[in-house]
Amino acid sequence: MEVSPHMKKDNIYWNPVMETLPREKLRELQLRKFKKIFEWAYNNSPFYKKLYKDAGLEPGDIKRYEDIVRVPKIDKGMLRDVQTRPPFPYGDMLAVPLSEVTEFRQTSGTTGTPVYQADTWQDWDWWAECWAYILYAQGYRDTDRLFIPFGYNIFVAFWACHYGAEKLGCEVVPGGVLDTEARIMKMKELRCTAFGATPTYVLGMADTARKIGIDPKTIGIQKITCAGEPGASIPTTKKRIEDAWGAKVYDHIGATEIGAWSYMCTFDSRGLHVNEGCFLVEIEDIDTGEIIDKPGKNGKMIITAFDRKAKPCIRFDSKDVIRWADYDCECGRTFRMIDGGVVGRADDITKVKGVLLAPTAIEEVVRSFAELSDEYEVVVSKKGDIDDILLKIEIKPEFEAQKEGILGRLKDELRVKTNLGYKMEVHPYGSLPRYEVKAKRFKDLREH
Amino acid sequence: MGNYNIKEMAKKIKEIRKTAEELQKLGGDIEAVKKNVVRLLSSTAMLELNICDISDLV
């Protein structure tokens, strides 16, 4: 249990009323808000109107919370498809006149063709509001100087963090086109107290700082908010980052098509709160399609954003695999927690040699070895009828002499954690690709 | 936890919306009024989300 010493329990909520609303009242609020966004989409988005009419649903049919599961889901494939149809560029999903759209972003394209996202100014204000919930819960205050080492481009990434932090009153330093060295120097020069980036880049920055003779711990960073990858919810990766920077590390989860829907607070890093005032999260059993309400069972997340108007996100099948936590957080928030963040992707968990494998399990093992660098790569291929799995790693120069012992222990640990045997390939330190945004460390070369 | 007069806050927020919408009408085709009222109404929507939406639940 970690409690920031400067936090008093009466000053930890962005909205103390919303965040401590009794569960039954929260449920009532969610039903009411679901009905509202359903009606908005039905009346304003031709795409949603057709989807719901085809399912025999119209506003007024959602009376009880249990009726929500009758509403058809949408998925990324549908979002990609709709933008190939007129009107350009969002297709007929748009629920406001194009003249009201002020923001364009697109998904990173990690899983296929990027999806275009439209937002009105109010939607953008809502993004910032969701981030204000996150940052306040993670101890950010108007005395913080937050550095954002992000490229400020077509990806939403830390754009909304920037606006959310401004809303909180933080002093925000945009680290846009600077290279990594310049970013580190600027953070040091300005005595920044916090920054936000992907876990991969946070580790990469620490590495670069050391190369230019700066111990990251001396910069004065107190907290780091991670996004874009599950790393900050993987205990071994989180510890690596905290040890490198001497700072607290917090995870948050969001997506371009959804919004920033979940966050770690300063009290309990085992899980993340779902912002249930702004989102409805349902967990669906991958095999049966039943909604899972009990803690501990993995399922696919189906999510609704209540207040996003231009391109509504209603019962979006995100393919993210999550599970409800079987513990409550001592912070007093009534927002339910998910245990361990996003534990995988429904389309990412793959079978290798007949065994179900989640890439995050490999990361957890690799990052637990202090002798290894932060980078690794997994390549799955097929030799004849047999799957082959190759793990590429880097051994830190000072541990080169212990190579055989390290490889032996790594193989054993991976077998225990993933039930699979791996071929190992040791690469020179610093030679595997380094990533600034989302890392692509898992490569499946098999034909599916 | 402090005691908050949520219902009174919700009432004031409704008044802000009403005033902003009236201002928008009065502004006619003055872009400087129209576009700034859009921002005012967006902030109002965030207050509604935080306060008005839950005012009858507390």
Contact B42 A122 (CB under 8 A): yes
Burial class from Cβ neighbours inside 10 Å (0-12, 13-18, 19+) for residue A253 reads buried
Nearest CA in chain A to B47: A129
Cβ neighbours for A87, distance < 8 A, ≥ 6 positions apart:
A94, A98
Put simply, whether B45 touches A (Cβ < 8 Å) is yes
- What is the arithmetic mean of pLDDT over B43-58? 97
pLDDT value of position A236: 92
Put simply, whether B7 touches A (Cβ < 8 Å) is no
Contact B53 A33 (CB under 8 A): yes
Contact B1 A20 (CB under 8 A): yes
Q: What secondary structure does DSSP assign to A175-204, as a single string?
A: --S--HHHHHHHHHHTT--EEEE-HHHHHH
The shortest CB-CB distance from A17 to any of B39, B43, B54 is to B54
The three-point CA angle B46-B52-B55 to 5° equals 145
Chain B hits for A15, CB-CB cut-off 8 Å, are 50
pLDDT value of position A57: 97
Structural domain ending residue among the three candidates A345, A370, A396: A345
Put simply, whether B8 touches A (Cβ < 8 Å) is no
Token pair 């965030």 is found at: B46
**Whole-complex ipTM:** 0.97
Same domain, A88 and A186: yes
CA end-to-end distance (rounded Å), chain A: 44
pLDDT value of position A268: 92
Nearest CA in chain B to A126: B46
Q: For chain A, list residues with pLDDT below 70.
A: 1-10, 110-112, 347-349, 354, 356, 385, 436-438, 447-448
Same domain, A326 and A256: yes
Same domain, A280 and A372: no
Nearest CA in chain B to A36: B53
pLDDT value of position A229: 81
Identify the domain containing residue A26 by its residue range: 1-345
Q: What secondary structure does DSSP assign to A53-120, as a single string?
A: HHTT--TTS--SGGGGGGSPPEEHHHHHHHTTSSSTTTGGG--S-GGGEEEEEE---TTSSPPEEEEE
Beta bridge partners of A378: A391, A442
Rounded to whole angstroms, the maximal C-alpha distance in chain A is 70
Same domain, A172 and A269: yes
Distance between CA atoms of A62 and A441, rounded to whole angstroms? 43
The shortest CB-CB distance from A129 to any of B41, B49, B54 is to B49
Same domain, A191 and A318: yes
- Pick the closest to residue A159 from A194, A127, A190 (CA basis): A127
Calculate how close chain A gets to B21, using CA atoms only, in Å. 15
Distance between CA atoms of A32 and A65, rounded to whole angstroms? 9
Same domain, A108 and A211: yes
Contact A121 B39 (CB under 8 A): yes
Q: Tell me the pTM.
A: 0.85
Boundaries of every domain in chain B = 6-54
Cα A135 from chain centre: 15
Chain A hits for B41, CB-CB cut-off 8 Å, are 122
Same domain, A298 and A440: no
Contact A18 B54 (CB under 8 A): yes
CB atoms within 10 A of CB A105: 21
pLDDT value of position A110: 62
Distance between CA atoms of A161 and A158, rounded to whole angstroms? 5
Structural domain ending residue among the three candidates A311, A345, A379: A345
Same domain, A132 and A49: yes
A-B contacts at Cβ under 8 angstroms: 53
Same domain, A335 and A362: no
pLDDT value of position A446: 79
Distance between CA atoms of A102 and A247, rounded to whole angstroms? 36
Report which DSSP code applies to A327: S
Same domain, A248 and A383: no
Contact A17 B53 (CB under 8 A): no
Token pair 């039903």 is found at: A31
Same domain, A288 and A401: no
- Pick the closest to residue A314 from A49, A60, A107 (CA basis): A49
Put simply, whether B1 touches A (Cβ < 8 Å) is yes
Torsion sign, CA atoms A114, A120, A124, A127: negative
CATH number for A435: 3.30.300.30
Same domain, A167 and A44: yes
Q: Which amino acid is at A183?
A: R
CATH number for A109: 3.40.50.12780
Contact present, A191 and A165 (Cβ < 8 Å): no
Count CA atoms within 13 Å of residue A136 on its CB side. Answer: 24
- What is the arithmetic mean of pLDDT over B4-26? 97
Q: Helix, strand, or coil here: A136?
A: helix
Domain count for chain A: 2
Tokens of A398: 């000072």
Chain B hits for A133, CB-CB cut-off 8 Å, are none
Structural domain ending residue among the three candidates A316, A345, A374: A345
The three-point CA angle A95-A96-A98 to 5° equals 120
The shortest CB-CB distance from A122 to any of B2, B45, B57 is to B45
pLDDT value of position A75: 93
Is the backbone of residue A285 left (phi > 0), alpha (psi -120 to 50) or beta?
beta
